[in-house]
A and B are shown apart, each in its own frame.
Chain A
């Protein structure tokens, strides 16, 4: 039986989850003017009602701990429980940012070591963990880019080159940073068109933001040429490291010539995200940009760690309340130590292998627009046989009937029926084979019984939703529902 109640619907007038002692002092009535006109309309429920309600609701949730979750561009990898255990240690959770620094050396060690490990992984000199999320990291990186040019007295560099295949946050971050994004067209496989890039390079270019592997899961093969072109024009290279999984322990943006990058700990480094956040978007820079990093800066000395609240004279300033989301980098630190340096490249190898295995196993029935080896993810452009009228959305809905989270759909926009599949490294061959079988059975069903696929899902709590109606006329309050 599906549980389909709202907490308001189990409310019973007068029921309470508490008892108060008889007051020892005289009752005091507030003046009329201070009273609200009507009751706030809160549900009246007992403690048991509340516990049962939310336990039942939680069964309806879908997460990585319930099933396969190949959501492209999101790296929905399992978050090992030890990450949670470590970040829940009272020695960390009870720290107050203003307590004496000698009493929080453990946390500062974690901060310092995490930034050091990220430096080693990325080939960049120094990291800050202060930024709260990926897009926040982008903004910080671009503020550093701007500060660098301005420190040289060069105020005309305002253009940030963003390929049209980049993450949507890139142009947005450039605008917020007070820069202007300039789009360059990508090749069919989403890689940068070097000729188009050359055409926009001039002495007003602050830098380029590059997502690698790009949104189609393809490694930017001309990356060294691009790096040289942009550097020769006086610009800086920004690496959007949101998709770092396939590079871990294999290739380093610093070695490719990049000056600045951000990393999403909540993707690659197995900290929760997607409603379970919060995130963390550390920013790394090469040597010449270290002085622009945000403050405060954690420093290591012989006698222990210190916090420099002032930062360098050229710092872009403070971008977070204290030093970022400690609970998140504690988890990432635990993940890195659990995996170990020698095993880290296996993350890259297995995620890449998994993606290529799915791609090759399904490309005879799904349309693969970009042939060749992909990295950790890839894109199908709908079914190969389009004559049945079964769309990507129908396939995604049908997957729900098999207890699988659908891949990312209709992104990237460069493919009309895009299905973007990213199977993280910790999925077993059995799970992946089952996904392949289900995808094949849906492709077969699309030919034999297309109407069935178009009507999916059938086994879920709610069936096919009217997405347009939901967007045009959203009902997000119980009150609005009652008024319907």
Chain B
């Protein structure tokens, strides 16, 4: 299972890449593998206000429908619109294809996220 060292993670299998106050959010390799072929994603809108660990999108695969939870609080700066027509990109490369960009509101929230090693334990 691919768990890049330079990312933060949630117990609900989202990853976060922090760059200059902006958080890129996606789903992990484990998540895409568990879900199976992803067929649909319902994205939030730009400027939506998200709260840490609250639902921000819904994802459907051939097996199940799940909610995605925001790893950090903040305003949605951008959504990856390409996923609306090609949700399978999340299966092909879950770390390359981010889902949303968030403007980080509170840096200290990052302390509540997991590092790669801790996340690997969640996936055990």
Q: Is A92 an interface residue (CB 8 A)?
A: no
Are A471 and B62 neighbours in the complex by a CB distance under 8 Å?
yes
Contacting residues of chain B (28-43) with chain A, CB-CB under 8 angstroms = 34, 37-40
Taking residues whose C-beta sits less than 8 angstroms from the other chain, chain A's interface range is under 10
Are A413 and B64 neighbours in the complex by a CB distance under 8 Å?
yes
What are the interface flags for A454-472 relative to B under an 8 Å C-beta threshold, 1 for contact and 0 otherwise?
A: 0000000000000110011
Minimum CB–CB distance for A376 against chain B, Å: 23
Minimum CB–CB distance for B58 against chain A, Å: 13
Are A467 and B64 neighbours in the complex by a CB distance under 8 Å?
no
Contacting residues of chain A (46-61) with chain B, CB-CB under 8 angstroms = none
Count of chain B residues with Cβ under 8 Å from any Cβ of A?
11
Task: State which of A410, A416, A468 has its C-beta within 8 Å of the C-beta of B37.
Answer: A468
Q: Give the chain B neighbours of A411 by CB distance below 8 A.
A: 64
Given the interface pairs A413-B64, A472-B87, the reply to whether A467 lies near B37 with Cβ below 8 Å is yes
Are A472 and B39 neighbours in the complex by a CB distance under 8 Å?
yes
Q: Give the chain B neighbours of A471 by CB distance below 8 A.
A: 39-40, 60, 62
Minimum CB–CB distance for A453 against chain B, Å: 17
Q: Is B88 an interface residue (CB 8 A)?
A: yes
Main secondary structure of the interface of B (DSSP, over half): loop
Q: Give the chain A neighbours of B40 by CB distance below 8 A.
A: 471-472
Q: Give the chain B neighbours of A413 by CB distance below 8 A.
A: 64
Q: Is B112 an interface residue (CB 8 A)?
A: no
Contacting residues of chain A (427-468) with chain B, CB-CB under 8 angstroms = 467-468
Q: Give the chain B neighbours of A472 by CB distance below 8 A.
A: 39-40, 87-88
Q: Give the chain A neighbours of B39 by CB distance below 8 A.
A: 468, 471-472
What are the interface flags for A468-482 relative to B under an 8 Å C-beta threshold, 1 for contact and 0 otherwise?
A: 100110000000000
Could you tell me the distance between the alpha carbons of A467 and B64 in the complex, rounded to whole angstroms?
12
Minimum CB–CB distance for B33 against chain A, Å: 9
CB-nearest residue of chain A relative to B88?
A468
Could you tell me the distance between the alpha carbons of A99 and B40 in the complex, rounded to whole angstroms?
50
Contacting residues of chain B (66-95) with chain A, CB-CB under 8 angstroms = 87-88
Contacting residues of chain B (18-66) with chain A, CB-CB under 8 angstroms = 34, 37-40, 60, 62-64
Are A467 and B62 neighbours in the complex by a CB distance under 8 Å?
yes
Minimum CB–CB distance for B64 against chain A, Å: 6
CB-nearest residue of chain B relative to A410?
B63
Q: Give the chain A neighbours of B38 by CB distance below 8 A.
A: 468
Could you tell me the distance between the alpha carbons of A175 and B61 in the complex, rounded to whole angstroms?
24
Minimum CB–CB distance for B62 against chain A, Å: 4
Q: Give the chain A neighbours of B63 by CB distance below 8 A.
A: 410
Could you tell me the distance between the alpha carbons of A413 and B67 in the complex, rounded to whole angstroms?
13
Could you tell me the distance between the alpha carbons of A416 and B62 in the complex, rounded to whole angstroms?
14
Could you tell me the distance between the alpha carbons of A468 and B88 in the complex, rounded to whole angstroms?
9
CB-nearest residue of chain B relative to A392?
B63
CB-nearest residue of chain B relative to A471?
B39
Q: Give the chain A neighbours of B37 by CB distance below 8 A.
A: 467-468
Minimum CB–CB distance for B94 against chain A, Å: 16
Are B34 and A416 neighbours in the complex by a CB distance under 8 Å?
yes
Minimum CB–CB distance for B108 against chain A, Å: 24
Task: State which of B34, B62, B64 has its C-beta within 8 Å of the C-beta of A468.
Answer: B62
Could you tell me the distance between the alpha carbons of A413 and B65 in the complex, rounded to whole angstroms?
10
Contacts A410-B63, A468-B38 given; 14 further ones with Cβ under 8 A?
A: A410-B64, A411-B64, A413-B64, A416-B34, A467-B37, A467-B62, A468-B37, A468-B62, A471-B39, A471-B40, A471-B60, A471-B62, A472-B87, A472-B88
Q: Which 4 A-B pairs have the closest CB atoms?
A: A468-B37, A471-B39, A467-B62, A410-B63
CB pairs A–B below 8 angstroms (11 shown): A410-B63, A410-B64, A413-B64, A416-B34, A468-B37, A468-B38, A468-B88, A472-B39, A472-B40, A472-B87, A472-B88
